[in-house]
Structure 1
Amino acid sequence: MARTLGLKGRPDRTDFARYVAALPPSNFRLGLTHVTTGYFLRDILDAKKITAMSDCPVLGRPLVYAFYGRPAYRTKHADTPSDLPFLFPAVLILDPDKVPRPRHVFGFDSGAFIAGLMDDYLDPYMPLFDFHLEPNVQSAARLAQTFFRTPRDFLNNNPTTSVSVPAGNFEAVSFSKMVSANGRGANQLDDRVSTPELIFDEIPIEDCVRAAILPDALAADPEIGGRIEGMGVQVKDYEWSGASRPSEYHRTIRKIAYGVFEDLKWL
């Protein structure tokens, strides 16, 4: 059956949110990542803020998505070869202490949840908003530290095996099983299942965006890379070649992002 946002006849459960809120405060706080393409980046620069270009297909309104720590988002065209550099990933690194208060926070990719990719670890009736967390960056940080212990283990998707969750907190049990599965199982879940997702109405570039990672062809262009640098944002590039696939640059982009985290003393 299709996943829903909530169940009719009862309010959203808060068991998982209360469990996460009671976890020890995190002693590390990583940056956030917003992954887009060069095409949409041009509109972001024009607006001087990150805004949605259309309604979210899950929540039905214009929303901006970011991930905690990992640049984990992939588009459905990630494996399609292209000779157009503006179709390739552009990643904005966001300061976790400067972003607006998120509207929603989940412990995973909400789109993958609604699409049924996590069904092996859920009751058929579990709705998305029973997994809703307190809407702040600390919720994401607490979750990452508890299930991964160190920032490096989190970034490398190396979960700890020592987390004990209460058997009566069904949402926490499901989340724990999804994290520990770590690529195994029928659906072969990737790291989006354990990357906290933060959802905003909009995010201004000023103060919030600390760095941008772009294809070198765009980074060198004064209308793209030049404008970004003019806004006081650090520009990092990756070597791009024509007729390649966006997914081919995923590991390179991660390495650059984590270097930015180190430069900013987040690692």
Structure 2
Amino acid sequence: MPRKLRLQRPDRAHLADFVAGLPQPASRLGLTHVTTGYLMREILDASKIWSPMDCPVLGEPLVYAFYGRAAFRSGRADVPSDLAFQFPAVLILDPDQTPAPKHVFGFDSGAFMDGRMDDYLDPHMPLFDFHLKPDVASAAALAAYFFETSEKFWKNQPNVNLEAPPSNFELDSYMRMVRAGPSSNRLDDRVSTPELIFDQAIDLVPAVRAAVLPDVLAGDPQIGGRLAASGILVREYEWQSLSRPAEYHMDIRKLIRGIYDTLGWSG
């Protein structure tokens, strides 16, 4: 059965209500927007993060970001390329300088709709029954509840002793996905990284505090140079021709973690 966005009834709020009752952590991490070097040029020319096309899941132009981690993977993540502009470029956003998101989910909504989480869902469970209150506070509280500390969140080490009320099916499913993620061959950190979706463009300044780029783009005056000239901290990873974008995921995560340390966002 194809996964649905909504059923023909009001969206359920069991998970959202639970998260709304959680305490806020003492500090928050930044937000990550994962794109490519090619689209980074478009962002620089517009001086804002914007969507060049409609989202294939929700059918409108949307900007996606993740809380803390850079969890997004493109459909070409495992395809070798000798074009540096096809490789990941990540912008680190100050959560206090972004507009209010339109949607927040506890996971990558695209991975959900692709069926990657189906082992932990009823066939009829729709995406929007997992919708959270659309603000950064929901994402921060959810991550803190399941991982307790930023260090455990980075290492994807959830608290395995949590339990959900039997009647809160959405929380039960989400909790089991988060627990299974570190040991599953089907799940990765997309299942436990909160996603924030914006229906308006995000200004490059003052929202973007840092960027992570392939070294050849970081050193280019028209890419890394323009970012640095806007007061944005630029960090680079060593890129090799005919490699795969997915090969740099952990290098990028280490650089982001260092950026959070520099910005005082590590918790």
TM-score, length-scaled by structure 2: 0.97
Q: How large is the Cα RMSD of the aligned pairs?
A: 1.0
Identity across matched positions, percent: 61
One of 175, 197, 206 as aligned partner of 2:195: 197
Aligned to 1:139: 138
Give the distance between the partners of 1:28 and 1:168, measured in 2 at CA: 32
Alpha-carbon deviation of 1:230? 1.3
Q: Is the 8 A contact 1:42 1:224 kept in 2?
A: yes
Give the distance between the partners of 2:109 and 2:45, measured in 1 at CA: 28
Matches within 5 A, 1:92-111: 92-111=91-110
Give the distance between the partners of 1:13 and 1:203, measured in 2 at CA: 29
Matches within 5 A, 1:5-84: 5-8=5-8, 10-84=9-83
* Structure 2 letter corresponding to 1:121: Y
Q: Is the 8 A contact 1:112 1:118 kept in 2?
A: yes
Aligned to 2:255: 256
Give the distance between the partners of 2:78 and 2:145, measured in 1 at CA: 33
Aligned to 1:153: 152
Q: Is the 8 A contact 1:28 1:151 kept in 2?
A: no
Question: Residues 25-50 of structure 1: CA distance to partner in whole angstroms, max 9, x if unpaired?
Answer: 22230001001000000000011110
Q: Is the 8 A contact 2:108 2:190 kept in 1?
A: yes
Q: Is the 8 A contact 1:121 1:178 kept in 2?
A: yes
Aligned to 1:237: 236
SS in 1 for 2:205: coil
Aligned to 1:3: 3
Aligned to 2:169: 170
Give the total of aligned pairs.
Answer: 265
Give the distance between the partners of 2:256 and 2:83, measured in 1 at CA: 23
* Structure 1 letter corresponding to 2:186: Q
Q: Is the 8 A contact 1:89 1:246 kept in 2?
A: yes
* Structure 2 letter corresponding to 1:101: A
Alpha-carbon deviation of 1:59? 0.3
Return 43-52 or 24-33, whichever deviates more. Answer: 24-33
SS in 1 for 2:252: helix
TM-score, length-scaled by structure 1: 0.97
Q: Is the 8 A contact 1:16 1:169 kept in 2?
A: yes
* Structure 1 letter corresponding to 2:146: F
Give the distance between the partners of 2:182 and 2:24, measured in 1 at CA: 28
Q: Is the 8 A contact 1:64 1:199 kept in 2?
A: yes
Alpha-carbon deviation of 1:254? 0.5
Aligned to 1:207: 206
* Structure 2 letter corresponding to 1:167: P
Q: Is the 8 A contact 1:146 1:163 kept in 2?
A: no
* Structure 2 letter corresponding to 1:190: D
* Structure 1 letter corresponding to 2:11: D
Alpha-carbon deviation of 1:22? 0.5
1:115 has 2:111 as partner: no
